[in-house]
Chains A and B, each alone.
Chain A
Amino acid sequence: AIWMTQSPSSFSASTGDRVTITCRASQGISSYLAWYQQKPGKAPKLLIYAASTLQSGVPSRFSGSGSGTDFNLTISCLQSEDFATYYCQQYYTYPRTFGQGTKVEIK
């Protein structure tokens, strides 16, 4: 199975900050990577697929980059509704695997 490692596991930030979350795959996955946002008690929501394509309806302050083994999710100007946990997931092969999650908390 392909291991997905996110960093950091959690961090605190302020509204208006630019934040970046990193996801590393244990082997190359081309651009077969998605990012999801999950708020407490809610289902995950798709933000980005194909490493950098914004899902319809997702604010443009979210962006994704990378290919191969190293990927980033960037939020350009953190808003109050962005405090949540973020997961990367590879869909290059089965079994599908998720990163362990990155919790973004209010400073």
Chain B
Amino acid sequence: QVQLVESGGGVVQPGRSLRLSCAASGFTFRSYGMHWVRQAPGKGLEWVAVIWYDGSKKYYADSVKDRFTISRDNSQNTLYLQMNSLRAEDTAVYYCARDTPYSGNYYLDYWGQGTLVTVSS
């Protein structure tokens, strides 16, 4: 069965960096676009970034552009989110989610359980 397991969350000071990982199993990871979506405490869902199945395209939300970088290692079935210059408003549960095959252009059919990032001094 499809499994997505996020890790790397924690408490970090403003201005510092953190890298999240998402380990995928149960499907052919290299064939699927992947996303990061976040949810601030008590708030709604906010899309963060997408990477195409082959890494050829990446898109970001304006709120994280130039600070966050999405990447993937298809040999390790792992998705990453490098987060730099973190701000208090980046505090959220971060979910990785799967798109459709050979794309990054559609809906999200499987989600991980999320990892909490808290930005605080």
Determine if chain A interacts with chain B. Answer: yes
Instruction: Show the binding face of A for B, using Cβ within 8 Å.
Output: 1, 34, 36, 38, 42-46, 49-50, 55, 87, 89, 91, 94-101
Q: Do residues A43 and B114 form an inter-chain contact, with CB atoms below 8 A?
A: yes
Within 8 A of A (CB), among B40-76: 44-47, 50, 59-62
Q: Do residues B44 and A46 form an inter-chain contact, with CB atoms below 8 A?
A: no
Q: Is B31 on the interface with A (CB-CB < 8 A)?
A: no
Q: Is B105 on the interface with A (CB-CB < 8 A)?
A: yes
- A87 and B60 alpha carbons, distance in the complex (Å): 20
Partner of A94, one of B37, B46, B50, B109: B50
Q: Known interface pairs A46-B107, A101-B44, A101-B45. Does A95 touch B59 (Cβ–Cβ under 8 Å)?
A: yes
- Distance in Å from the Cβ of B113 to the closest Cβ of chain A? 5
Q: Is B95 on the interface with A (CB-CB < 8 A)?
A: yes
Q: Is B9 on the interface with A (CB-CB < 8 A)?
A: no
B-side interface size class: 20 to 34
Q: Known interface pairs A94-B59, A95-B59, A95-B62. Does A44 touch B44 (Cβ–Cβ under 8 Å)?
A: no
Partner of A46, one of B35, B60, B61, B108: B108
The winner among B59, B107, B108, B112 for most chain A CB atoms within 10 A is: B107
The winner among A44, A46, A49, A96 for most chain B CB atoms within 10 A is: A96
Q: Is B111 on the interface with A (CB-CB < 8 A)?
A: yes
